[in-house]
């Protein structure tokens, strides 16, 4: 399905014009009543004041607002704005237009709508520009149509953010969660409140699951169905879920289930997407949003787009990948490299690790799984930096500052940039024009006495002695080290068939 052609039901989900006119009439009537009450209170207060009698203040309170005195004529406009604020909130809920958005945009919207004008003025810090940016548009029929049309016109961007939010929610420490890819089984963290599990017997209700709602919406659209609304079956009708058992999620449109869930007591939720085609569609979207950092699925056709001039995402990713030599380490090879760095038991307790030119961060992820003390990644490509930022966020929400990201070119970084050298440097540098030699020689400066450098290199590094490799031959003669051949075509899935070796060298203590 071309996901730019949203199902028609989404564009006709707004309230009938008669209902909106009735809502506006009720709003006008409420504002008139409040104004009349304020005028009557002021009149009574003026009459009694002639005899020295003072009435107590009469105040109204709107949630998220300060108390507003009804008898203060200066508050009339503020009261009207508060009424309009709640009408805006109700309009979004009644029309289901907010279900077009990804959960972050939707949460930001309702957080903003939940703040009173007094709150926005107080926290604009005297900036008229900030106050104007935070202010709601005037509640008119024209503005309602314009706002909702803007939301609908941006549905493609919201849809792509839904796919991206699924990736951002993945747990970092499970091998099934590939860097930048959505596989058959996804493992997310914080799907429910683990502290409450002692009160939940053998079942649990999903709690922090906005990203799963985003996944449900994305799958429905890619499947050619109508996206779920506030009243649709599906995730919202699951109720209590048993621990450790797969539960099929009802299709909001009544067809075959698109995914199933399994919850575990430690707070993780395993999600399986049944259709390989839908998984590939989601990965094409990720490849388009991060060209060169994420390879599209093999054999994937051009991703549909609303812009006829938009380049083919597959070709764009391939061209950028070749230009930057961005052939990221496959997961299986990353694990084998980690075994050479940390031993077959993958025990990294207390070690500090550096991955220069980290790319997709596969080697850093393998290092994190060894429970090492800290991992530092150096990477300056903007697309890769944003993806690595998600990894840093996911890990550090459990272990503060355990993973760090340095968004600079590796050759602009010196050991003096850090408080100490590293126990392990693990790397997969670019190979073209023998530039891997300069990368390895520079990385050696970051290894502390008694530490180790483990580098994936082209087979030429082991065999050639001319050109740039002559400097590497001198390095090997001085420091020793050993080469291990990697399986042929290890990088085939990454987009190249170059033969590689792993070089391991230790600095004497």
Domain check: are 232 and 358 in the same one? no
State the DSSP code for 23.
Answer: H
Residue 3 lies in a domain: no
Alpha carbons 376 and 425: distance in angstroms, whole number = 10
Alpha carbons 321 and 343: distance in angstroms, whole number = 32
Alpha carbons 290 and 69: distance in angstroms, whole number = 53
Check residue 310 and give its pLDDT. Answer: 35
Contact indicator for 366, 395 with CB cutoff of 8 Å: no
Check residue 95 and give its pLDDT. Answer: 80
Question: How many domains, the chain?
Answer: 3
Residue 310 lies in a domain: yes
Contact indicator for 41, 71 with CB cutoff of 8 Å: yes
Domain check: are 143 and 287 in the same one? no
Contact indicator for 184, 279 with CB cutoff of 8 Å: yes
Domain check: are 304 and 183 in the same one? yes
Domain end marker among 153, 169, 203? 153
Domain check: are 490 and 345 in the same one? yes
Domain check: are 130 and 257 in the same one? no
Domain check: are 94 and 42 in the same one? yes
Residue 366 lies in a domain: yes
Residue 102 lies in a domain: yes
Check residue 314 and give its pLDDT. Answer: 40
- Can you read off the two tokens belonging to residue 53? 């009698």
Domain check: are 120 and 204 in the same one? no
Walking along the chain (509 residues) 10 residues at a time, the average pLDDT comes out as 44 57 88 92 90 86 74 84 86 81 83 63 49 68 86 86 83 66 81 61 76 90 86 85 91 91 86 91 83 60 37 38 59 88 86 92 88 92 84 77 91 93 94 89 96 93 89 93 87 73 93
Domain check: are 274 and 163 in the same one? yes
* Beta bridge partner(s), residue 384: none
Domain end marker among 121, 153, 185? 153
Residue 42 lies in a domain: yes
Alpha carbons 249 and 238: distance in angstroms, whole number = 7
Residue 2 lies in a domain: no
- Coil/strand/helix, residue 68: strand
Domain check: are 167 and 302 in the same one? yes
Domain end marker among 131, 153, 175? 153
10 Å CB burial of residue 299 (0-12, 13-18, 19+) is exposed
Question: Residue 420's domain spans which residues?
Answer: 331-506
The secondary structure element, H or E, covering residue 168 is: helix 155-168
Domain check: are 84 and 215 in the same one? no
Instruction: Please state at what angle helix 155-168 crosses helix 382-396, rounded to 10 degrees.
Output: 50
CA distances from 486 to 370, 437, 465, 500 (A): 21, 18, 20, 6
Check residue 29 and give its pLDDT. Answer: 93
Domain check: are 412 and 438 in the same one? yes
Domain check: are 211 and 124 in the same one? no
CATH number at residue 422: 3.40.50.150
Residue 349 lies in a domain: yes
Contact indicator for 215, 162 with CB cutoff of 8 Å: yes
- Can you read off the two tokens belonging to residue 404? 């760090």
Check residue 16 and give its pLDDT. Answer: 61
Place of tokens 């609304």: 229
Contacts of 104 (CB under 8 A, 6+ apart): 161, 165, 210
State the DSSP code for 170.
Answer: B
Alpha carbons 104 and 96: distance in angstroms, whole number = 16
Residue 389 lies in a domain: yes
Contacts of 236 (CB under 8 A, 6+ apart): 228, 230
Closest CA to 105 of 40, 151, 57, 49: 151
């Amino acid at each position: 399905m071309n996901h730019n052609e949203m199902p028609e039901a989404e564009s006709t989900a707004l309230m009938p014009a008669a209902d909106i006119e009735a809502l506006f009439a009720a709003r006008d009537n409420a504002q008139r009543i409040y104004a009349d009450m304020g005028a009557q209170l002021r009149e009574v207060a003026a009459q009694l004041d002639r005899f020295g009698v003072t009435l107590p203040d009469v105040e109204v309170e709107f949630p998220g607002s300060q108390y507003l005195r009804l008898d203060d004529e200066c508050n009339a406009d503020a009261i009207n704005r508060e009424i309009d604020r709640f009408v805006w909130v109700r309009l979004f809920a009644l029309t289901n237009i907010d279900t077009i958005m990804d959960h972050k945009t939707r949460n930001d919207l309702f957080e903003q709508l939940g703040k009173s004008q007094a709150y926005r003025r107080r926290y604009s810090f005297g900036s008229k520009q900030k106050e104007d940016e935070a202010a709601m548009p005037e509640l008119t029929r024209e503005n309602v149509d314009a706002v909702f049309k803007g939301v609908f016109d941006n549905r493609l961007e919201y849809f792509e953010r839904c796919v991206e939010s699924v990736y951002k929610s993945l747990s970092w420490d499970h091998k099934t969660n590939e860097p930048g890819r959505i596989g058959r089984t996804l493992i997310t963290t914080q799907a429910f409140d683990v502290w409450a599990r002692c009160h939940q017997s053998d079942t649990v209700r999903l709690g922090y699951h906005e990203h799963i709602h985003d996944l449900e919406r994305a799958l429905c659209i890619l499947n050619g169905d109508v996206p779920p609304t506030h009243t649709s079956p599906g995730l919202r009708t699951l109720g209590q879920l048993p621990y450790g058992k797969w539960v099929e999620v009802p299709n909001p449109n009544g067809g075959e289930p698109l995914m199933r869930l399994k919850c575990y007591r430690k707070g993780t939720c395993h999600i399986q997407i049944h259709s390989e085609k839908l998984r590939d569609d989601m990965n094409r979207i990720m490849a388009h949003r991060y060209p060169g950092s994420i390879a599209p699925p093999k054999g994937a056709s051009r991703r549909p787009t609303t812009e006829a001039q938009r380049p083919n995402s597959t070709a764009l990713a391939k061209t950028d990948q070749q230009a930057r030599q961005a052939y990221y380490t496959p997961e299986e090879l990353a694990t084998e490299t980690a075994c050479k760095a940390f031993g077959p038991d993958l025990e990294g307790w207390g070690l500090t690790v550096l991955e220069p030119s980290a790319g997709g961060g596969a080697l850093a992820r393998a290092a994190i799984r060894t429970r090492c003390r800290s991992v530092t990644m150096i990477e300056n490509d903007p697309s890769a930096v944003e993806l690595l930022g998600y990894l840093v966020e996911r890990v550090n929400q459990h272990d503060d500052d355990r993973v760090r990201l340095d968004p600079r070119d590796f050759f602009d970084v010196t050991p003096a940039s850090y408080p100490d050298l590293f126990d392990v440097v693990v790397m997969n540098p670019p190979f073209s024009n023998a530039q891997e030699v300069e990368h390895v020689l520079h990385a050696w400066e970051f290894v502390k006495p008694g530490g180790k450098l483990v580098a994936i290199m082209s087979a030429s590094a082991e065999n050639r002695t001319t050109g740039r490799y002559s400097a590497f031959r001198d390095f090997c003669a001085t420091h020793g080290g050993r080469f291990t051949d990697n399986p042929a075509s290890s990088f085939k899935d990454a987009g190249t068939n170059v033969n590689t070796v792993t070089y391991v060298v230790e600095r004497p203590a």
